[in-house]
Structures are given as C-alpha cells and as structure tokens.
Amino acid sequence: MIRLLVRALQIGATAAVVTFWMLTLRPQPLGGPAAYLVVRGDSMLPTYETGDLLVLRRAADYGVGDVVAYRVPAGQLGEGHVVVHRIVGGDGASGWVLQGDNNPAPDPWMPRDHDVVGRPWLVLPQVGRIVGWLYQPVILAGLAAAIVVGFVIAHPGLPNTPKKRSGSPSRPLVPGFDPP
C-alpha cells in the first residue's frame, strides 16, 4: 500500500513539474512562452553582467523604461542577432528606440513589436557561463564519450552475440572446429 502511495506521489510530482515547465519555461520554438539568452558584453551594466542567463517572456505591450530582448531587424547589419537593451523611446508600430544602460548612444536599429523576443522574467546570475561552457565542442565530445562508455558498461556484450542457454551444450560456431 505504501509503495502504491509513493508511486502515486512520484507520478503527481512529475506531472506537476512537466505542467509547470510547459506553462512557464517551454521555449518559444516549441510553442512555449519562454526564450533564453546568455548576456555577453557590458552594455547593460550594472543591470546585467556577462554570463547572466535571462529567461524571457513575451508581454502584451512594451513601453519606455522596459528592458527587452529583440532580434536585429531583417536587412540590417547584424540581422537575427538578439540584443537586450532598455526602451528609451518610440513605439511598437514605427520602431522602438533602445539603448544599453551602459551605452552613451541609442542602438542603430529600430525594432518593431514583432522583432521583440520578450522581457526578462527570470535572471540567473552567472548560470549562462555554465551553459556556454557546456556548448564547447571538447566538452560536448567528452559528454558524448561518457554516455557511450556508460551505455557499453551497463549493457555488456554485443547485440548479436548469441546467448548461452542454461542446460544446453555449447556448440562450435564453425562446424568441425572445436575451439581449445
């Protein structure tokens, strides 16, 4: 009975975590509300530092004073890059004027609402450094090798190796040849 209760609690906790993830942290490419950005550079000091991980969420509207992440508009130098800066003027229809907190001048781009990825919802200081470290090719190769080694150790023997049945005599693989 206790095992059944523990198992039901485990299933309930897993369902709660998955539901929370789907409603709050699922990435936008998977139809979710969240986007993720690792801060690089010092344009947003002291608000954000290099290595901070930002979890972004779309908002119904944006205004002057909001910090937003946006994609550099198509057809402009840097197209597609994501920048996180503060709105200092403009509007979503004709284009926002944005500027980093530590920059002396506004950005050269004027993104519109459809270019805005979202505003920071959660900040994880320096967690982005770990994410960046994991994306290094040597680290990824090492992780892949560790997974393969773990799989081989956990599953000894080749998949097509005939298994010896208990109680049956072993037969030579080649007829007429008896191994020593």
Q: Is the same domain home to 16 and 41?
A: no
Note the pLDDT of residue 163: 56
CA–CA gap between residue 39 and residue 46 (Å, rounded): 12
Model confidence over 109-167: pLDDT tens digits?
999 999 999 999 999 999 988 877 777 788 778 888 999 888 888 776 655 555 555 55
Instruction: Note the pLDDT tens digit of each residue in 76-98.
Output: 898 989 999 999 999 999 999 99
Position 18 in a domain: yes
Residue 65 maps to a domain: yes
Residues 14 and 75 in one domain: no
One domain, residues 40 and 100: yes
Termini Cα distance of the chain: 55
User: Based on the domain organization, do 104 and 39 belong to the same domain?
Assistant: yes
pLDDT beyond 90 at 13:
yes
Peptide bond into 27 cis (omega under 30): no
- pTM comes to 0.68
Residues 15 and 76 in one domain: no
Same domain, 38 and 118: yes
- Which residues span the domain enclosing 20? 1-31
Within a domain: residue 58? yes
What totals of helices (H) and strands (E) does the chain contain, helices first? 3, 6
- How many independent structural domains does the chain possess? 2
pLDDT in tens, 14-42: 999 999 999 998 998 899 999 999 999 99
The pLDDT, as a whole number, for residue 8 is 94
Same domain assignment for residues 75 and 121: yes
Residues 86 and 115 in one domain: yes
Q: How far is CA 19 from CA 9, 11, 25, 26, 95, in A?
A: 15, 12, 10, 10, 36
